[in-house]
Chains A and B, each alone.
Chain A
Amino acid sequence: MALLTDHEKAVYEWQMWVPGFGEAGQQALKDASVLVSRIGGLGSVVAYELAAAGIGRLVLAHAGDIKPSDLNRQLLMTHDRLGTPRVDSATSRLKELNPRLEILAVPENVSDKNAGRLVGEVDLVVDCAPLFPERFAMNRQCVEQGKPLVDCAMYDCEFQITTILPGQTPCLACLYPENPPAWRREFPVFGAVSGSVACLGAMEAIKVLSGLGEPLSGTLLTCDLRDMTFQRRQLLIRDDCPVCGTSPKASST
């Protein structure tokens, strides 16, 4: 464990003033690693906020090159890098902000094939993927490896966020026991909507990693930015969940 340098203490001075966080919280962030999958409208802002906060290491997983339709919300992508890999643009932007940050850039989307390896690289996962099979793959591995999972999602002007703590809260498969048939990869969204929930997701990661405050464990926060309605809802563990359930029908695969 490398201790905070004088330069880092100067950079993070204002957040170390937050009661309950302090130098110990900052050291916890420096020692921590987070997987952000993917780095689109949600993940770009999650990664940027975590880089700004002084996280030690980020694993960024996202396949493909930058398209014009990315640029309304994917804030780590730039116009001059259209047609180039998203992870390269993201790495460059994040390093501009925080050159001390260690980044593992993986030009792949999370799948059942790579989820075990990618989740195994980190202390916490922020799920920013647009497709449920990717989300389910991360959820399975987080439950299996006992890693916290911050699940962020949005549609139109609405967003949802919850924090999954394996063994303590419902997992994603408790909530959605099947692949939702109506969901499509492309959907209406403003960058300000994905950015809003992404900031909350980054804050959840900071809280879980540092012990600050109370995360949204077992609680779904929903928001409709059309009328600024925020609601907190309590979630149920599914005893027969095939991923985290404890009944005889459940298995860990």
Chain B
Amino acid sequence: MQVTVEYAAQIKRAAGVARDVIELEGPCQLAEIARAVALIRDDSFAEILLDENRQPRPSILVFMGEEQVRWDDPNLRVEDGQTITLLSPVSGG
């Protein structure tokens, strides 16, 4: 299946692109999407997105369409053609 992954804020800078379109077996869980995009980007990207156990960091917000979803939602599956957005936390100053 094909999934579009969009990036915002620091994780977009680390990716060097605004979005990736990836191919993978599906439907799948969100964490598999995170690990799949980490594989095609460099270490700084992976460090922002994944913890030392290769699990998505809970402070990275993830959205399907306009709705926030939970990385650990056991009932959620990403399907062919869907777009998810990863948003890294930003602050002010």
Q: How far apart are the CA atoms of A185 and B9 in the complex, in Å?
A: 14
B41 CB, nearest partner CB in chain A, Å: 14
Flag whether B82 is at the interface (Cβ < 8 A). no
- What 1/0 mask marks residues of chain B from 50 to 71 whose CB sits below 8 Å from any chain A CB? 0000000111010100111110
Measured between beta carbons, the chain B residues less than 8 angstroms from A189 are 93
Chain B, 36-59, CB within 8 A of any chain A CB: 47-48, 57-59
Chain A, 158-203, CB within 8 A of any chain B CB: 158-160, 175-183, 185, 187, 189, 194
Flag whether B8 is at the interface (Cβ < 8 A). yes
Contact B92 A177 (CB under 8 A): no
Contact A182 B66 (CB under 8 A): no
Measured between beta carbons, the chain A residues less than 8 angstroms from B63 are 233
Flag whether A78 is at the interface (Cβ < 8 A). no
Given the interface pairs A41-B92, A194-B92, the reply to whether A155 lies near B10 with Cβ below 8 Å is: yes
Contact A158 B92 (CB under 8 A): no
Flag whether B27 is at the interface (Cβ < 8 A). no
Contact B87 A38 (CB under 8 A): no
Flag whether B4 is at the interface (Cβ < 8 A). no
Measured between beta carbons, the chain A residues less than 8 angstroms from B89 are 132, 153, 175-176, 180, 183
What are 17 A-B contacts with C-beta separation under 8 Å? Answer: A42-B92, A156-B13, A158-B9, A159-B90, A175-B59, A175-B61, A176-B89, A177-B58, A177-B59, A179-B59, A180-B88, A181-B57, A181-B59, A182-B10, A224-B8, A232-B66, A234-B66
Q: How far apart are the CA atoms of A236 and B66 in the complex, in Å?
A: 12
Contact A127 B92 (CB under 8 A): yes
Contact B58 A155 (CB under 8 A): no
Measured between beta carbons, the chain B residues less than 8 angstroms from A235 are 68
Measured between beta carbons, the chain B residues less than 8 angstroms from A234 are 66-68
Measured between beta carbons, the chain A residues less than 8 angstroms from B90 are 153-155, 158-160, 183, 187
Given the interface pairs A158-B9, A183-B10, A222-B8, the reply to whether A38 lies near B68 with Cβ below 8 Å is: no
Give chain B's interface residue range (CB within 8 Å of chain A).
20 to 34
B92 CB, nearest partner CB in chain A, Å: 4
Closest to A231 in B: B66
Closest to A70 in B: B93
Flag whether B91 is at the interface (Cβ < 8 A). yes
Chain A, 49-77, CB within 8 A of any chain B CB: none
Q: Which 5 A-B pairs have the closest CB atoms?
A: A130-B93, A155-B90, A180-B89, A42-B92, A153-B90
Flag whether A118 is at the interface (Cβ < 8 A). no
Q: How far apart are the CA atoms of A191 and B25 in the complex, in Å?
A: 44
Flag whether A87 is at the interface (Cβ < 8 A). no
Q: How far apart are the CA atoms of A153 and B12 in the complex, in Å?
A: 16
